[in-house]
Structures are given as structure tokens and as C-alpha cells.
Amino acid sequence: MREVKGTILPLVSVVIPCYNDAEFIEQSINSALNQTYSNIEVIVVDDGSNIETKVVLKKLEPKITKLITQENQGQSTARNVGIIVTKGEYVLVLDSDDFFEPTFCEKAIVYFENDTTIKIITSYVSRLQLNGQNDVFEPIGGNIKNFLKYNCATGSAMFKKKDWEQVRGYDEDMRQGFEDWEFYIRLLKDGGYAYIIQEPLFNYRIKENSTTTKANKGKYNLLKYIYTKHQKLYKENFELLVNHLLHRIEKEEIEKVKNTKRIDFIIGNYFLIPFRSLKNFFLKSSK
């Protein structure tokens, strides 16, 4: 730790797992290096990237604290491998295609140092859309009851290394996504809460092939895995889970009704009527 103006600043270890991200990894690393908080180390884990990405990482290696290279093992393993070698009291995980604003660490440490019940800190999110129509997402944070329903934080977030050690890190069997949510459930199940800084200090790219996009495609299997792994916790909060699931079903039903009332659906349905009549006619004729 470094002493500045009589105050000992705890070391923050930024861990950036990287897999085939030549286009954005430099911006991600620079966002860690350019934090206004001065006591930082940056660990990058090359999780079996392609040659193009390795060339970029080699160029950036002199700027960072440590570059770890391994065969592709997935994001959970890459994060754990990076965190193991960190020396900081606090860990900030950052995906290689995203980036934080310069003041994030400075502001997060103040909250951590003044409230021992905080287990996770992240912020509002600037979502960078492919079509350029960006927006701001506001996660709600909160305690375990919130997180039993869905992930109320972001995958890139800060937590204490001792808490990561206590719950034995990320689940390395989860290679298809939702591993951050499952990790947060374990962090919070015995108390504490996730704090959300109410400023868009985190920038998240929405990409077609992102981990989150892939996870949403297989979300029912992932949900089953999480519900089964933490079944004791969900049994203890059975009513909360049932109410949440029923609410989701109700929302989906409302959306279905809305879609059937859209003008393009009505027009399309109207023009399909003659074709359906012809189809029925030929089906009857063939019998």
C-alpha cells in the first residue's frame, strides 16, 4: 500500500480476462490505468486469444503489472486465475470489451471504507448499442433477496479479495454465462449488500456474440443450474421465488397480447387470410 498525504490507500487490483478482443482491449486496460485513484495494479489474463489479440497484448504488456497467458478455459477460470495472483485488498473485475470512467475506483473505495456491510460495488451503466442509440441502465443492487430473483449488479464490479476467498471464487463449471450472478449469490447469502453508485461510471458494449447474449439464449438451463445449486436458499425464500416467476410469466403474457394488437401484425394477419384459405382448400382436396 502507498501512503499519500498521511492516508494509507488500500491497493485495488484490476483483473481483466481477455478472449479474442483485439479491437477493445486497449481501451479497457487504459480505463484501469487512467483511474484517478492512484494505488492500482492491473492483471490481464489472456484466455487463449487469437494471434491478433496476442499482438495487441504484447504491445500493452509493459504498461500493466502482469500478463498471464493460458489455454482457453472460460471467463470464470480466467477471473479466478487473475485474482489468485493479486496483491490488493480490493478486486475490480473488468471485461475486456468494456471500460470504467476514471473516477470509479476513487468513489467506490470511499463507500467501501465507510460501510463494512457493502460486499459489491458497481454503478449505473452506459450501454453502448451497435446502432449507436446508447442508453443508461440502472441496476438496483440490494441484498440477497434481490439477487435471488435476478442479477441486480453488473458483471464488472468491485469486491474484497477476502470475500472472494471465503466463497472460493467464481464457479468454473459455469462457462455459458450467469457466473457473475451466481458468484454474487454466494457473496451475499450470509449478509451484506451490493451498492450502486448512481452515476454512469461503467461503459458496457452490447455485442451480438457477447457472453451475456449467449447466456440469454441458454438462460433456462442456466437458471435451472442456479436454482438447483442454491435450492436450500430458494426453499427458504419459496414465496419470493414463486411471486417473481409468476410476475415474469404475467409480463410475458402482456407482451404477447400487445404484439397481437400491433398494426403490422394485424395487417400481416389480414393479408395471410387468403393464403390460409387456399392451404385449407388444397389440404381438403388431397384427402
Q: For the residues 2-7, what does the mean pLDDT come to?
A: 47
Residue 102 lies in a domain: yes
Count of structural domains within the chain: 2
Mark whether 44 and 91 lie in a shared domain.
Answer: yes
- Within 10 A of 252 (CB to CB), how many other CB atoms are there? 9
Mark whether 70 and 170 lie in a shared domain.
Answer: yes
- CA dist 32 and 278 (Å) reads 64
Phi then psi for residue 267, to 5 deg, are: -65, -45
Q: What is the pLDDT of residues 80-111, one digit of tens each?
A: 999 999 999 999 999 999 999 999 999 999 99
Residue 98 lies in a domain: yes
Q: What is the pLDDT of residues 31-47, one digit of tens each?
A: 999 999 999 999 999 99
Confidence at residue 131, expressed as pLDDT on a 0 to 100 scale:
84
Domain that holds residue 53: 2-218
Residue 258 lies in a domain: yes
Mark whether 124 and 47 lie in a shared domain.
Answer: yes
Q: Which residue has the higher pLDDT, 203 or 272?
A: 203
Q: Considering Cα of 257, then 261, then 266, then 268, what sign does the dihedral take?
A: negative
Confidence at residue 283, expressed as pLDDT on a 0 to 100 scale:
53
Mark whether 29 and 99 lie in a shared domain.
Answer: yes
Residue 230 lies in a domain: no
pLDDT at 163 over 70: yes
- Going by DSSP bridges, is the β-strand pair 7-9/2-4 parallel, antiparallel, or unpaired? antiparallel
Confidence at residue 266, expressed as pLDDT on a 0 to 100 scale:
58
pTM for this prediction: 0.85
Give burial (CB, 10 Å; 0-12/13-18/19+) of 64: middle
C-alpha cell at 8: 494509507
- CA dist 178 and 171 (Å) reads 10
Q: What is the pLDDT of residues 113-162, one digit of tens each?
A: 999 999 999 999 999 988 888 999 999 999 999 999 999 999 999 999 99
CATH number of the domain at 121, please. 3.90.550.10
Residue 185 lies in a domain: yes
pLDDT at 12 over 90: yes
